Amino acid sequence: MTRAREVIVVGGGLIGSLVAFTLRRAGADVLVLDADRPGAAWRAAAGLLTPDGERLRGTPLHADALEGLRRWPALAAALERSGVPVHLRPGVTRVQPGGGVACTPGEGSLHPPSVVRAARQGLEVVAAHVQSLGPSGGGVRVRTDAGDWFAGQVVLAAGAWSGAFGVGVGPQQGQALLLRGAPGVGARYGPPARGFSRYALSRPDGLYVGATSRDTWATTPDAHAARWLRGAARTLVADADGAEVAAHLVGLRPVTPNGLPLVGLHPTLPGVLVAAGHGRHGALLAPVTAARVLALAERGVSA
């Protein structure tokens, strides 16, 4: 038997769950299918909302990054009506190359796993691995390992795995440590080392220290990254040395060849919208992407 829904979102990560939350609030009948992939980026993400920390000034992403910052407080308030706090906090400092410290008003951080948990409250989320999408009777057939669905519209938000559905997205691995027993600190960037950003922030689950960057599908933590991250912790937080590792996180950032997210019509599949390829900035850009997908879906754009 094929089950029918108005909208099916493929992937319930940072982008998919916030897109589904936004569509649902606008009255759509939405189902989220999530494969619970090891390496999902949202489980490993720091949650920094910092256009300047990420050096986005002068890039094509800067305007959207500022718009993301502007939209986060209202979105966080809406998410928290679920009863799940998302820990949106103001303030990120950056150590400058000359040694001074800078802070851009409006920047901040949140806790990505809580964001996903809050967004998923009130949504129907089914554990299913989507295998293929294809046209069917004016809509889309969604083939999964848990049976088939039929949807008027599909939103493809499968993170780094979106490339399996005919769009140019691949993985960039990032590793980070969560330390227990370290002193609490506000979100801060140190000077980059070997081309990687080094940052730390206290979160409800510990002191987060990130992050490495490597083009690979591997999702197992490695000792080399652990040593580099320990070094970053020492540089960024006095007295972090004795802290115990609560978790060594590995996530696959969904990246595109030109570094820009893909948000719009699927190039070949009618009825499918793409919301993927947000790279290092999915938490920051998610409110803007969700608003764009809502606008497209409301226009009934299908081809």
89 in contact with ligand FAD (CB under 6 A): no
User: Judged by CB under 6 A, does residue 86 bind ligand FAD?
Assistant: no
Which of 298, 278, 272 lies closest to 140 in space, CA to CA?
Answer: 272
Q: Which residue is nearest to ligand FAD (CB)?
A: 13
Q: Please, which residue, 55 or 98, has the CB nearer to ligand FAD? A: 55
Query: How many whole angstroms separate alpha carbon 57 and alpha carbon 80?
Result: 30
- The Cα 140–Cα 296 span in angstroms is 16
Task: Evaluate whether 129 touches 35 at the Cβ level (below 8 Å).
Answer: yes
Closer to ligand FAD by Cβ: residue 35 or 293? 35
Longest distance between any two alpha carbons in the chain, whole Å: 65
- Beta partners for 209? 177, 200
Single out the residue of 47, 152, 171, 271 in contact with ligand FAD (rule: CB under 6 A): 47
CB closer to ligand FAD out of 33 and 240: 33
How far apart, in whole angstroms, are the C-alpha atoms of residue 177 and residue 171?
Answer: 20
CB of 277 to ligand FAD, least distance (A): 7
Told to check if 253 binds ligand FAD by CB under 6 A, we report: yes
Structure tokens at 72: 């986060």
Residue 92 binds to ligand FAD (criterion: CB under 6 A) = no
When the beta carbons of 98 and 237 are compared against ligand FAD, the nearer one is 237
Residues in the chain: 303
| Binding footprint of ligand FAD on the chain (CB under 6 A) | 10-16, 33-37, 40-42, 44-48, 129-130, 157-159, 161, 174, 176, 210-211, 251, 253-254, 276, 278-284
